[in-house]
Structure 1
Amino acid sequence: MTSPEQEPHTAGQPAAEQDGIGQPRRSGLRNPERAVRGLGAGTLGLEALVLLLAIQPIRVVGGDLSGAALGVVVALAVVAILLAGMMRRPWAWHAGTVLQGLLLLSGLLHWSLLALGIIFALVWAYALHVRRVILG
């Protein structure tokens, strides 16, 4: 029979989430906050790049992309780039979520923007999930 001091984990957490001395196991990253910020910034940067590169194919395939829709796409890309640079601020994650909603709403202007909005909303949801898992 072992005493409570010899058990490698506490009663409230499974052994897999504890290290050998009873401390919660860390993610293994040197700087988890920086890694998560990089994930968010990379996601937003990729979104901006895809939005800008999608303008010409949308014009060719769709044919009915108006000047207002082009302006919306460029504005969303600029906002994504600005948010990517501000990921140090906690509100930038919320603003990124709002950006995904705005991209989904731009689907009212053209169906392909809705498709991009769905794809990037799912990618952003995954980035938020990773952030929650790593940072708690």
Structure 2
Amino acid sequence: MEAIILLLAIQPIRIMGGSLSGWGIASVIGLAVVAIALSGMMKRSWAWTAGLVLQILLAACGFFHYSLAILGLIFGAAWIYALSVRRTILGRPGLL
């Protein structure tokens, strides 16, 4: 779902007066591709950490446009919640 939202966010940002440059668009598309790839790798334990790093990178894309930072914070909060539920179910101490 995150990848779809990222891809759909490009055009409204450009239309609403955002100055999303070519680098910004390329980074959003790249993050969407990584999100799709990670969604198929959730069986591996390292993919959960990579998903958290993806949220941090998305928040860092706020330098291109503030709405990307907001999306990063929203999805980051959802990701942290998913990690805590995973930890509770698996009974493992720590964040991951």
Partner of 2:38: 83
- Normalized against structure 2, the TM-score is what? 0.91
- Normalized against structure 1, the TM-score is what? 0.65
Distance in 2, Cα, partners of 1:62 & 1:135: 46
Q: Find the partner of 1:67 among 22, 27, 31.
A: 22
The within-5 A match list for 1:29-108 is: 46-108=1-63
Q: Give the ranges of 4+ consecutive aligned residues of structure 1 lying more than 3 Å apart after TM superposition.
A: none
Deviations 1:35-69, CA, capped at 9 Å, x for gaps = xxxxxxxxxxx111110111111111133110110
Question: 5+ residue gaps in structure 2?
Answer: 92-96
The alignment status of 1:134 with 2:92, answered yes or no, reads no
The within-5 A match list for 1:19-30 is: none
Amino acid paired to 2:87: R
| Count of matched residue positions in the alignment of Structure 1 and Structure 2 | 91
Amino acid paired to 1:135: L
Structure with the higher helix share, 1 or 2: 2
Distance in 1, Cα, partners of 2:89 & 2:8: 32
Rg larger in structure: 1
- What secondary structure, in the 3-state scheme, does the structure 2 residue paired with 1:65 have? coil
Partner of 1:112: 67
Amino acid paired to 2:54: L
Partner of 2:94: none
Distance in 2, Cα, partners of 1:47 & 1:89: 19
Amino acid paired to 2:45: P
Amino acid paired to 2:67: S
- Tell me the CA shift for residue 135 of structure 1: 1.1
